[in-house]
Chains A and B, each alone.
Chain A
Amino acid sequence: MQRIGVFVCHCGTNIAATVDVARVVEAAAKEPGVVHAEDYQYMCSEAGQLKIREAIKEKNLTGIVVCSCSPRMHENTFRQAAERAGINPYMVEIANIREHCSWIHKDIEEATEKAVILARAAIAKVTLNAPLQSGTSRVVKRALVIGGGIAGIQTALDIADAGYEVDIVEKTPSIGGRMSQLDKTFPTLDCSACILTPKMVEAAAHDKITIYTYSEVEKVSGFVGDFQVDIRKKARSVDMSKCTGCGVCQEKCPSKKTPNEFNRGLNTRSAIYTPFAQAIPNVPVIDRENCIKFKTGKCGVCSKVCQAGAIDYEQKDEIVTQNYGAIVVATGFDTIKLDKFDEYSYSTSPDVITSLELERIMNAAGPTKGHLERMSDHKPPKSMVFIQCVGSRCADKRGKSYCSKICCMYTAKHAMLIRDKYPDVEVTVFYIDVRTPGKNFDEFYRRAVEEYGVNYIKGQVGKVAEKGGKLLVQGVDLIDNKRILMETDMVVLATAIEPNPDVRKIATMLTASIDTNNFLTESHAKLRPVESPTAGIFLSGVCQGPKDIPETVAQAGAAAVKVVGLLAKDHLVTNPCTAKSDELLCNGCSSCEKVCPYGAISYEEKEVNDHGIRETRRVAVVNSALCQGCGACTVACPSGAMDLQGFSNRQILAEVDAICR
């Protein structure tokens, strides 16, 4: 017979303001098997845990129920407390009377009644609990970082410096990411390349880091500590071991009409190309879709001019399979498409550009060699207008509901740099709010206004129209309550950012959750911001939410620490709540094997003793090291043979009965 103790937490007023905890204690004490019930202000505190430990010892409790917050928050805390008092940690059940009750109800009567029912269900379950023993699983001492931008590079460097092997998988031909496209960085105006390139070089030279560029993650299996990943190395058509990076092939390539992605399509590139001069590796790829040789079979100029004999038209994609203890997602962002915002004439006028395009125009290695000019006639502008929040803070489907966070600062940066280098250019910024939380950020924005004379006008622009070779900007000044109709030479749109579209595919492979905006979800918004709810998956950079470079680097370091903390372990304690098949009931149908997402179920020919009849049957066997306890097999099983330890059918039904009683 179980001896059960019930502990009801007030959680300050979080629970106690809406649930009459005394009544919950009173009701729980009357349940069969319950020999102890009490309440306390903060059960998770040291004093609260002490109460639990003392009660276990004094009353010889065999199982406990804690009525408190979500088990995601403190199940582990209470399991540890129980273990310290000498009972098996799986003899602990949590009744979530906060998130599932007090936080979502207003009426004390109703909430109290529901809390009593939830407590009753947990008591009914714990009565049927049995002690479970955790096993262990190995930790592969190697990490994978998906994405080779500043987030991925920083995470990889920090993990490698701690002494662990790291692989970076980058989709494009070079690492560097968005930061390599930027000209200067706020609020210090460091040259982006000057601070990024050394990190790229360091990553490439690090003996613990392997970089796979022009490569994509194709398949992921396994689990925390031991993921197995297939990486597709796309055919570069250039032998990396032979290429010297001389660049002659790119110069001589006759196909030069492909829009240059690195320059956001503002100019064109050759079919054999490296995205930018400081690319790492400094080995070009052949873009087969635009290569004349691949399209028509004729050409081969690059092969003829290559002294090193590195061009290899026959090269094939290659799959590398590798095991990893942890995976970091650092897939970054892109700007949204602006085809739904044509009131700003982006589709129709080359002089209406995005801020990222302006970065390329202002960059010495960009399409205009750093000269500020209009893309229509290559004339220097005399006046420029910046429009904020294009596609950010939108309630409709055209844009994004969130603030993109970086635009206010980079616009102040652009405005300031332009006024500094071209003092004759008039710069006007139309804003809704100027948001500058961050160290030295507001000071930076004020400098743009006060020292550089940037004209800030409060009010979103209504329309931009081409007229007489100029752009007519129609807006209002909300402070003066006055119409603004101004001619300008260039318009720059602070375009909303969104997670890299590939992230959906990657999140699915990793079973990592994403929100409605395709940002990866963190395990806890405040306390576990760099961990995915999926064990062993970590988040770095904008894939988790909009952020600037300093924040990205900080988060990248935090993710690295979490990875190192995991890789430093000799082994991992596995979850004992795994599936188990009753071989006498199993009919060998394979339903469970088909639904298992972890490949944990196999079939064996086994001799069974079915009520004295000995025979060999084909039965399901669960590998408890692989099983993650998702329960899919227990639902698929038609004969009731499959059960989940700690969540058996009997336990679940006992809970349901207790609720319906």
Chain B
Amino acid sequence: MVYSYYPGCTLKNKAQDLDRYARMSAEALGFTLEEIEEWQCCGAVYPQASDEIATKLSAVRALNDAKEKGRDLVTLCSACHHVIKRVNDDMQNVEDIRTRANNYLKLDAPYEGETKVLHFLEVLRDRVGFDTLKEKVVNPLTGRKIGAYYGCLLLRPSGVMAFDDPENPTIIEDFIRALGAEAVVYPYRNECCGGYISLKEKALAGNLVDHVMESAVDKGAEELITACPLCLYNLKNSGSSKKVPVHYITELLAEALGLIKE
């Protein structure tokens, strides 16, 4: 199975591990992530205003590229996933945005939200299946107590993202269990890490990260995993509370699949 793949800017730079381990794991699990050509940065935040069109176009280009190849579009970074999924929803359901975006792009055929956008975790859950994943694990992460950090962008707004229950999600916990580790459920796993605010509002971001870390530690997590490079950065670098290590989801996946050589 081949999926169109949108890595996003950070996965080509600071978050190369997130990208590299995803591709390796995909091959090991029997699917291929084929990077779409000439993609551009998604903008990293979804433009919410109804009169914002130009800022949505890079997402539409990526979506249309996948459509032309007849493939589903897979993303990894939470921000890219959020932006592309929501823009796709606009293209399906908001006539004004659809018309104006197509007027700009002048594609061979207008894009109307045909592409299915999948997060890498959704591919694992819905296409590969966590039971199959469990069977392919050669190096189970037995004994490790891992907390899932969802953050906000994968889950909310749940009406559009339709990723999991926005207040009590389970997909990453199921993923952790499939890898043989213990999933630690803690209540702040869907609260914001601060996102872009950490650039100029260090104190606020620190406060938010402290809440998340304290909550995770309180419930006994010894490490956290996330799909988002910015979440990882903030969790590692903001705040003053006791910290546990933070990894990318794909890093753990590759490790459990025996793809990381010591």
Direct contact, A vs B (beta carbon within 8 Å):
yes
Q: Which residues of B contact A340 (CB under 8 A)?
A: 165
Name which of A141-149, A295-303, A463-471, A607-615 contacts chain B: A463-471
> Is A348 touching B168 in the complex (CB atoms < 8 A)?
yes
Q: Which of A347, A348, A467 contacts B218 (CB 8 A)?
A: A467
Chain A 447-465 interface residues, beta-carbon cutoff 8 Å to B: 463-465
Q: Name the B residues within 8 Å of A464 (CB-CB).
A: 187
For residue B185, CB closer than 8 A to chain A, the reply is: yes
Given known A465-B215, A467-B218, A468-B218, contact A342–B167 (CB-CB < 8 A): yes
Are B168 and A465 in touch, CB under 8 angstroms? no
Q: B188: CB under 8 A from chain A? A: yes
Chain B nearest CB: distance from A313 CB in Å? 39
Expressed in whole angstroms, the minimum distance between the Cβ of A54 and any Cβ of chain B is 62
- B167 touching A343, Cβ below 8 Å: yes
* Complex-state Cα separation, A567 to B203, whole angstroms: 76
- Residues 81-97 of B at the A interface (beta carbon under 8 Å): none
A348 B185 Cβ-Cβ under 8 A = yes
- Within the assembled complex, what's the spacing in Å between the Cα atoms of A512 and B188? 47
Contacts of B188 in A (CB 8 A): 465
Q: How far is the CB of B185 from chain A (nearest CB, A)?
A: 7
CA distance A348 to B191 in the complex (A): 16
**Cβ–Cβ < 8 Å partners of A345 in chain B:** 187
In whole Å, how far is A472's beta carbon from the nearest beta carbon of chain B? 8
Chain A residues near B165 (CB-CB < 8 A): 339-340, 342
Contact A466 B167 (CB under 8 A): no
- Cα–Cα, bound, A280→B165 (Å): 42
Residues of A within 8 A of B218 (CB): 466-468
Asked whether any CB of chain B lies closer than 8 Å to the CB of A294, the reply is no
Contact with A along B183-196 (1 / 0, CB 8 A): 00101100100000
Write the chain B residue with the least CB distance to A349: B187
- Whether B215 lies near A467 (C-beta < 8 A) is yes
* B203-219 with Cβ < 8 A to chain A: 214-215, 218-219
* Contact across chains for B167 and A465 when beta carbons are under 8 A apart: no
Restricting to A337-363, which residues have a CB under 8 Å from any CB of B? 339-343, 345, 347-348
CA distance A345 to B187 in the complex (A): 8
Q: A341 vs B165: C-alpha distance in the bound complex, in angstroms?
A: 10
Q: Are A342 and B215 interface neighbours, CB within 8 A?
A: no
* Cβ B168 vs Cβ A467 within 8 A: no
Q: Which residues of B contact A348 (CB under 8 A)?
A: 168, 185, 187
User: Which residues of B are found within 8 Å of A463, using beta-carbon distances?
Assistant: 187, 191
In the complex, what distance in Å separates the CA atom of A206 from the CA atom of B34?
A: 78
Within the complex, the shortest CB–CB distance from A415 to chain B, in Å, comes to 25
The CA-CA distance from A465 to B191 in the complex, in Å, is 11
**In the complex, chain A residues whose CB is within 8 Å of the CB of B219:** 466
The answer for the CA separation of A468 and B215 in the assembled complex, in Å, is 9
- Most chain A CB atoms below 10 A, which of B165, B187, B215, B218: B187
Determine the chain A residues whose CB is within 8 A of the CB of B167 once the complex forms.
341-343
Pick from A341, A347, A464, A465 the residue with the most CB of B within 10 Å: A465
12 contacts between A and B (CB under 8 A): A339-B168, A342-B167, A342-B168, A345-B187, A348-B185, A348-B187, A463-B191, A464-B187, A466-B219, A467-B214, A467-B215, A472-B187
Question: A: which residues have CB within 8 A of B?
Answer: 339-343, 345, 347-348, 463-468, 472
